[in-house]
Amino acid sequence: MKKNITIILASICLIFSAFKLADFPETEITNGIIDAKLYLPDPENGYYRGTRFDWAGVVPSLTYKGHSYFGQWFPKYDPKLHDAISGPVEEFTPLGFDEAKIGEEFLKIGVGTLVKPNDKKYSFATTYDIKNAGKWTVNKKKDLVEFTHELKDGAGYSYLYKKTVRLVKGKPDMVLEHTLKNTGSKSISTSVYDHNFVMIDNEPSNQNIRIVFPFDVIGEGQGFGSIINVNGKTLNYSRQIQKGDQVFSSGLKGFGPVAKDYDIRIENTKTGAGVRMTSDHPLEKLVYWACPTTSCPEPYIKLAAEPGQEVKWKINYEFYTFQPE
Residues 307 and 182 sit within 8 Å (Cβ to Cβ): yes
Higher pLDDT, 14 or 218: 218
* pLDDT (tens digit per residue) in 196-217: 999 999 999 999 999 999 999 9
Residues across the chain: 325
pLDDT at 20 over 80: no
Nearest Cα to Cα of residue 290 among 213, 238, 217, 216: 238
Please tell me the CATH code under which domain 26-321 is placed: 2.70.98.10
Residues 234 and 211 sit within 8 Å (Cβ to Cβ): yes
> What pLDDT is attached to residue 154?
74
Question: Which pLDDT band holds residue 156 (cuts at 50, 70, 90)?
Answer: confident
Question: Which pLDDT band holds residue 180 (cuts at 50, 70, 90)?
Answer: very high
> How many CA atoms does the CB half-sphere of 71 hold within 13 Å?
14
Neighbours of 272 (CB within 10 A): 17
Residue 142 φ/ψ, nearest 5 degrees? -60, -40
Residues 198 and 210 sit within 8 Å (Cβ to Cβ): no
Q: Mean pLDDT across the chain, nearest whole number?
A: 93
> What pLDDT is attached to residue 17?
38
Question: Which pLDDT band holds residue 153 (cuts at 50, 70, 90)?
Answer: confident
* pLDDT (tens digit per residue) in 35-65: 999 999 999 999 999 999 999 999 999 999 9
